[in-house]
């Protein structure tokens, strides 16, 4: 597997299209009230990272150069992330220990092969080289991916309820 950032990419547009497809494929939300809602959803979890943090938007390619997965990250959690996701306010205090955050998705046929762990390690390596002290992510408390993060050293630091969903913040010190 090869890994590079969007800012290092030589086929920026094609890679964005391929990763956008993986984003929608991986999302549990499948229906939208219209195009406006679909684009808002895309911007919130994907577009804001591609536009504002292309150095931290990592793309994983396979042996035949196909895009297998991506990690959309930010080296620090900034106001625009809180504006896009108001529920994050409840996590603000604990985030001080884990300023960076990420979203990661692989295409269905590339899951369960250890590739997501490799991409995570590369993201952490890049964060450490910039002296970023910690990283977090937020996911549903009952999601299968919690096991993936736990085995990679991301542990529950805080938990909130949003509507009927329990959300956990999983953090790792670097």
Ligand X SMILES: CC(C)(COP(=O)(O)OP(=O)(O)OC[C@H]1O[C@@H](n2cnc3c(N)ncnc32)[C@H](O)[C@@H]1OP(=O)(O)O)[C@@H](O)C(=O)NCCC(=O)NCCS
Sites of contact with ligand X (CB under 6 A): 26, 104-106, 111-117, 137, 139, 144-145, 147-148
Shortest Cβ 138–ligand X spacing (Å): 8
Q: How far apart are CA 20 and CA 23, in angstroms?
A: 5
Q: How far is CA 15 from the centre of its chain?
A: 16
Residue with tokens 């499948």: 30
Choice between 13 and 144, CB closer to ligand X? 144
Nearest-CB residue to ligand X?
116
Shortest Cβ 39–ligand X spacing (Å): 20
In sign, the C-alpha dihedral spanning 23, 25, 27, 30 is positive
Shortest Cβ 97–ligand X spacing (Å): 19
Q: Is 141 left (phi over 0), alpha (psi -120 to 50) or beta?
A: alpha
Choice between 5 and 105, CB closer to ligand X? 105
Shortest Cβ 69–ligand X spacing (Å): 6
- Angle, helices 12-26/35-42, rounded to nearest 10 degrees: 110
Shortest Cβ 149–ligand X spacing (Å): 8
Choice between 10 and 144, CB closer to ligand X? 144
Can you state the percent helix, strand and coil of the chain, rounding each to 5?
45, 30, 25
Choice between 34 and 108, CB closer to ligand X? 108
Q: Cα-atom radius of gyration of the chain, to the nearest Å?
A: 15
Choice between 115 and 174, CB closer to ligand X? 115
Q: Is the Cβ–Cβ distance between 57 and 108 less than 8 Å? A: no
């Amino acid at each position: 597997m090869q890994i590079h950032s969007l800012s290092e990419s030589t086929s920026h547009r094609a890679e964005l299209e391929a990763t956008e497809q993986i984003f929608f494929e991986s999302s549990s939300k499948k229906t939208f009230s219209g195009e406006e809602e679909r684009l808002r959803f895309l911007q919130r979890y994907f577009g804001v990272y591609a536009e504002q943090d292309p150095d931290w938007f990592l793309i994983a390619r396979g042996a035949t150069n196909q895009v297998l997965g991506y990690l959309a990250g930010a080296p620090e959690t900034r106001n625009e992330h809180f504006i896009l996701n108001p529920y994050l306010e409840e996590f603000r205090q604990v985030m001080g220990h884990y300023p960076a955050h990420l979203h990661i998705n692989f295409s269905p046929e590339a899951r369960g092969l250890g590739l997501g762990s490799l991409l995570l390690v590369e993201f952490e390596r890049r964060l450490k080289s910039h002296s970023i002290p910690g990283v977090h992510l937020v996911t549903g408390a009952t999601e299968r991916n919690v096991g993936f993060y736990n085995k990679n050293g991301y542990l529950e630091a805080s938990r909130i309820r949003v509507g009927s969903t329990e959300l956990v913040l999983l953090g790792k010190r670097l």
